[in-house]
């Protein structure tokens, strides 16, 4: 049997409420800053009045996209394009300079959790004025696979063109699927991730109706997202995009790429329980983690950090913490845990990929990112939660291994096993 191909990360790009590039994002994580602010007047009367909104004035969209691009692309697609440009730049890989044979093995796996509901509402309003008022780009702007399609067309990438839409697990599933395309020999290079931009009154109202959003900190937005804290009362919606460039290790070494980290394993599972709530025993989350560890061909004792999905909901955080304890058993006291959603909110389908970017920066910097706003740890959170940046390992030459969890409505679960790369 041939030796299994190894998959590494050589480029990353991100747009979020913490900034429009990786450098700003990571620095604000280390500074324990939150990008959560008050919503505008159009949200008046809704129970939730906070969100992690993009600093739109800093985006410089015109630098990347033409007016005709803006007509055919949804907001989420636009953000994916911007994040892709940074990922290619940090990877020092320009598709225009690649030959056709290389482009045939260069693919895209980018998804979207849900489209912007204001697009649908706006099109409906136009239809009331007449059929011809509906934009011919209405349907293409909504399709979840369009970020993937536009990236592929923009750069002439003819490898796998695959889109994922699995609610809040979308970004992690996209990375895991892309890793498997490379491992299985379907591609040598993959752009992977997701984008999300649906902070609109209808979306906020919908999530309020299922009592998912925080409403207790409307006057203190920066404190609203508080994973694992006793007084957490729901998640804070965020928006943004994050794209990673994955490569076959030999391909990366051949072109002398700077290797940022390695994707070791990928685990998936289903809760088979409820449309929005995880089962109390945390079996689905535990199965995803166990399968990621097995796929990575390591043992649970090799893992020293879990970047949790924990969104700041009362049930979800507790159940995930119990699942982590179940998976690691006696080793759990040596595993540190944090969720960075206190910094950037919950980006729905773009949360797992943004947090993977943060995790890979953490691996490279040998620093564990903190959970914000923990004034009193919930007594039912039975894991070692990190509340300020910590040195990961005192021997920086030692390989560091972590899990990145993502769970979505419908009971869909993903866990990635990621390690620092020691050449």
Question: Rounded to an integer, what distance in angstroms lies between the CA atom of residue 355 and that of residue 238?
Answer: 13
Q: At residue 308, does pLDDT exceed 90? A: yes
pLDDT value of residue 423: 75
Residue with structure tokens 């505008």? 40
Which region among 18-32, 47-61, 189-203, 205-219 has the lowest average model confidence (pLDDT)? Answer: 47-61
pLDDT value of residue 222: 98
Q: How far is CA 323 from CA 129, 310, 359, 368, 389, in A?
A: 53, 12, 20, 21, 24
Spatial neighbors of 266 by CB under 8 A, at least 6 apart, are 175, 176, 179, 180, 291, 292, 295, 414, 415, 416, 417
265-419: CATH topology: Peroxisomal Thiolase; Chain A, domain 1 (3.40.47)
What would the pLDDT profile of 365-409 be if each residue is shown by its tens digit? 999 999 999 999 999 999 999 999 999 998 878 999 999 999 999
- Sheet of 189-196: strand order equals 161-162, 106-111, 189-196, 240-248, 7-15, 261-270, 412-419, 401-408, 305-307, 336-338, 384-385
Question: Rounded to an integer, what distance in angstroms lies between the CA atom of residue 29 and that of residue 172?
Answer: 20
Spatial neighbors of 125 by CB under 8 A, at least 6 apart, are none
Q: At residue 105, does pLDDT exceed 70? A: yes
What sign does the CA torsion over 188, 85, 400, 34 have?
negative
Q: Do strands 390-391 and 412-419 pair parallel, antiparallel, or not at all (unpaired)?
A: unpaired
Domain spanning 7-255: CATH superfamily: Thiolase/Chalcone synthase (3.40.47.10)
Residue 353: what are its φ and ψ, rounded to 5°? -75, -40
For the entire predicted model, the pTM comes to 0.97
Question: Rounded to an integer, what distance in angstroms lies between the CA atom of residue 292 and that of residue 298?
Answer: 9
Q: Do the domains at 7-255 and 265-419 have one common CATH topology?
A: yes
Q: At residue 130, does pLDDT exceed 80? A: yes
pLDDT value of residue 396: 79
DSSP string, 300-365: GGG--EEE----S-HHHHHHHHHHHHHHHGGGGGG-EEE-THHHH-B-GGGHHHHHHHHHHHHHHH
Cβ neighbours around 99 below 10 Å, total: 7
Question: Rounded to an integer, what distance in angstroms lies between the CA atom of residue 175 and that of residue 164?
Answer: 10
Burial call 30-60: b when 16+ CB within 10 Å, e when fewer: eebbbbbbebeeebeebbbbbbbbbeeeebe
Which residue, 169, 412, 409, 113, is CA-closest to 269? 412
Q: H-helix or E-strand containing 288?
A: helix 283-295
Domain parsing of the chain, residue ranges:
7-255, 265-419
Which are the catalytic amino acids?
A: 168
């Amino acid at each position: 049997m041939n030796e299994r191909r190894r998959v590494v990360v050589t480029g990353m790009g991100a747009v979020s409420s913490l900034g429009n590039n990786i450098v700003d994002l990571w620095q604000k994580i280390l500074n324990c800053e939150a990008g959560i602010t008050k919503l505008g007047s159009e949200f008046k009367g809704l129970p939730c009045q906070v969100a992690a909104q993009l600093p739109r004035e800093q985006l410089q969209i015109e630098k990347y996209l033409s007016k005709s691009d803006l007509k055919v692309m949804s907001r989420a697609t636009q953000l994916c394009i911007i994040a892709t440009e940074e990922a290619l730049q940090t990877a020092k890989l320009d598709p225009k300079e690649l030959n056709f044979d290389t482009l045939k093995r260069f693919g895209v796996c980018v998804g979207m959790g849900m489209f912007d509901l204001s697009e649908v509402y706006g099109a409906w309003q136009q239809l009331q004025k007449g059929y011809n008022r509906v934009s011919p780009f209405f349907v293409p702007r909504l399709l979840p696979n369009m970020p993937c399609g536009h990236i592929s067309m923009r750069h002439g990438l003819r490898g796998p063109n695959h889109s994922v839409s699995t609610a809040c697990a979308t970004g992690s599933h996209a990375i895991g699927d892309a890793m498997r395309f490379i491992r299985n020999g379907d591609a040598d290079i993959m752009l992977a991730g997701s984008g999300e931009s649906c902070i609109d009154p209808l979306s906020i109202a919908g999530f309020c109706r299922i009592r998912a959003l925080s409403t207790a900190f409307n006057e203190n937005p920066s404190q609203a997202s508080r994973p694992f804290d006793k007084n957490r009362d729901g998640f804070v919606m965020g928006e943004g995009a994050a794209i990673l460039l994955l490569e076959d290790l030999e391909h990366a070494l051949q072109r002398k790429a700077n290797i940022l980290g390695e994707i070791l394993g990928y685990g998936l599972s289903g809760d088979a329980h409820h449309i929005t709530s995880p089962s109390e025993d945390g079996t689905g989350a535990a199965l995803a983690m166990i399968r990621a560890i097995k796929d990575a061909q390591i043992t649970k004792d090799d893992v020293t950090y879990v970047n949790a999905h924990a969104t700041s909901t009362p049930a979800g955080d507790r159940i995930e913490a119990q699942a982590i304890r179940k998976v690691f058993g006696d080793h759990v006291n040596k595993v540190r845990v944090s969720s960075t959603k206190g910094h950037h909110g919950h980006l729905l389908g773009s949360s797992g990929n943004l947090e993977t970017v943060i995790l890979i920066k953490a691996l490279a910097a040998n620093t564990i990112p903190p959970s914000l706003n923990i004034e009193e740890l919930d007594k039912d959170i039975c894991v070692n939660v990190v509340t300020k940046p910590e040195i990961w390992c005192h021997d920086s030459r030692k390989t560091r291994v972590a899990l990145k969890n993502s769970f979505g409505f419908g009971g869909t679960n993903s866990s990635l096993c990621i390690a620092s790369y020691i050449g």
